Amino acid sequence: MLRHIVITGASSGIGRALAEHYAGPGVMLSLTGRNAERLAAVVRGCEARGAMVASSLIDVTDRVTLADWLESRDTVQSVDVVVAAAGIGGAEVVPEARGESADLAGRIFATNTLGVVNTVAPLLARMVARRTGAVVVIGSIAGRIGLPQSPAYSASKAAVHIYADGLRRLVASSGVSVTSVVPGFVDTPMSRSLAMSRPFCWSADRAARRIARAIERRERRCIFPLPLRIATALHHFVPLALLDRVLGRANTVIRPGRADP
């Protein structure tokens, strides 16, 4: 039987790397993205590796269209793994010194938070009914600490982590696993748009291998790299005044740009 994996945000970044990692004989990939040219290139590459691929240009903020497509793909072949990888970030989400506009903050939450819910919800009930499946939510280290470079982005990812935790506990007895992925810097077009240091940056391929291993092991959380995992865990024990001073000094003016996941 084919293994069916759904990935949103597959036209770039971690989503693309995961699609290419899983591509091979015996695998059906259902991929969405916002960039037609990039998505088509991913499809060609995955098909060349022997995978069966279906794709669609869908914005994850379009709840109805996305739900219809996800349900149709699950009807064709039961989905084994759904990866909510679509999101906006990088220079696109960096606010001016006076803070994010309501429009920018709204777009960030609509994509990064509600987009995850829009991806997971249509398939979760079906997985629970079958008592099998894996839900994978791509968050960010930024969601574990409020960064001055991106307050709304950090909050949108924090919400995703809490959503995954609650979801995991909700379906704990159903046979469905929920993995919250919390990466640090990954070398993608999104992170490369930032004019700042990217400590302990991993390649997208390395990140995809680590995430795939976490999915296979049904890990609750997949946090990498280790130095940033330790640093974000220890920040809870640092006085807020000191933490504010350190992070405030680390704030950097970042060049404008746009990343297209």
Residue type, 3: R
Structure tokens at 36: 């037609």
Catalytic pick among 22, 69, 153, 185: 153
Neighbours of 179 (CB within 10 A): 22
The DSSP secondary structure of the chain, one letter per residue, reads: --EEEEEESTTSHHHHHHHHHH-STTEEEEEEES-HHHHHHHHHHHHHTT-EEEEEE--TT-HHHHHHHHHHHHHHS--SEEEE-----GGGGPPBTTB--HHHHHHHHHHHTHHHHHHHHHHHHHHHHHT-EEEEEE--GGGGS--TT-HHHHHHHHHHHHHHHHHHHHTTTTTEEEEEEEE--EESHHHHT--S--TTPEEHHHHHHHHHHHHHTT-SEEEE-HHHHHHHHHGGGS-HHHHHHHHHHH-----------
Sequence-ordered list of residues with C-beta below 8 angstroms from that of 148, at least 6 positions apart, any chain: 247, 248, 250, 251
Our answer to whether residue 153 is catalytic in this structure is yes
Which residues are part of the catalytic machinery?
153
